A and B are shown apart, each in its own frame.
Chain A
Amino acid sequence: NAGVTQTPKFQVLKTGQSMTLQCAQDMNHEYMSWYRQDPGMGLRLIHYSVGAGITDQGEVPNGYNVSRSTTEDFPLRLLSAAPSQTSVYFCASSYRDSPADTQYFGPGTRLTVL
C-alpha cells in the first residue's frame, strides 16, 4: 500500500513548455484533488475530482487541466508553463467526497518555471 504517489519530485521548465504532473493512489479513494503551495499563501485548491470521469475547478484553475479516466490516477497538465506557476504541487485523496474523511497527501512536486 503506497498511499498517494507523485512524480516527478522536481521539475524545471522553460516558459511555454507543457508537462504533466502524475498522481496515483492505491486506496480506492473516490475524491482526489490538486493543490499548489506558495510561500505565505498556504495551500490553494486547483482542481478536484469526486470520481472517475468527474472533475471540477477549485480556487486557482487557470493554466491547468485535469482528467480522471480511472479511480487511481489524477494527472495535472500545464498547457503552457508560466513563471507564475513556479510552486510546490500536492495531490491529495480521500475515501469520499466529504470533509469528514481524512485527506491523504502525496510528497509533492517542486516545479520551477524559468
Chain B
Amino acid sequence: AQSVTQPDIHITVSEGASLELRCNYSYGATPYLFWYVQSPGQGLQLLLKYFSGDTLVQGIKGFEAEFKRSQSSFNLRKPSVHWSDAAEYFCAVGARKSSGDKLTFGTGTRLAVRP
C-alpha cells in the first residue's frame, strides 16, 4: 500500500522568504502525486499534480514541486511567500485499485507567515 510522509508539522517563514515543504512517498509503481492547500475553515484546493513527464511541475498561486524518483520525494516550493499563503498543506499519492481510485494523504504541514 502507498504511504505519504510530511516530516514537518509546523513551519514558520517570514513574508517574502522562500519556502520548501517536504513530502516523501512510498509506492511500488509510478506514482500520481498531488499537493493540496487548506485555508482555515475551508475545504482542500488542488495546487498542482504530477503524473509523468517533466519532473518540475508548476501550479497555482506561484507554487511548484519537483518529483525526484531517486529520493521518493515531491517537495513543494515557492520563491517568495505572501501572508495569504498561511494555511495547511497536504501532499497526497494516488493509486489505482482493482475498483475505484483513492488518494492517500500525508498528515499535513501547517504554514505560518511572519509579517
Per-residue interface assignment for chain B, residues 85 to 103, with 1 indicating a CB less than 8 Å from any chain A CB and 0 otherwise: 0000010001110011111
Inside 8 A of A42's CB, which chain B residues have their CB?
4, 90, 105-108
B contact patch SS = strand
Question: How many B residues, CB 8 Å from partner?
Answer: 25
B108 nearest in chain A by CB position: A42
Is A22's beta carbon under 8 Å from chain B? no
Per-residue interface assignment for chain B, residues 26 to 48, with 1 indicating a CB less than 8 Å from any chain A CB and 0 otherwise: 00000010001000011111100
Count of inter-chain pairs, beta carbons less than 8 A: 60
Given contacts A42-B108, A43-B90, A56-B99, contact A106 B43 (CB under 8 A): yes
Is A76's beta carbon under 8 Å from chain B? no
Interface residues of A (CB under 8 A from B): 4, 31, 33, 35, 40-45, 48, 50, 56, 58-59, 90, 92, 97-100, 102-103, 105-108
Q: Given contacts A35-B105, A42-B107, could you give 14 more A-B pairs where the C-beta distance is less than 8 Å?
A: A33-B102, A40-B107, A42-B105, A44-B105, A45-B102, A56-B100, A58-B102, A90-B44, A98-B96, A99-B94, A99-B96, A100-B51, A102-B46, A105-B44
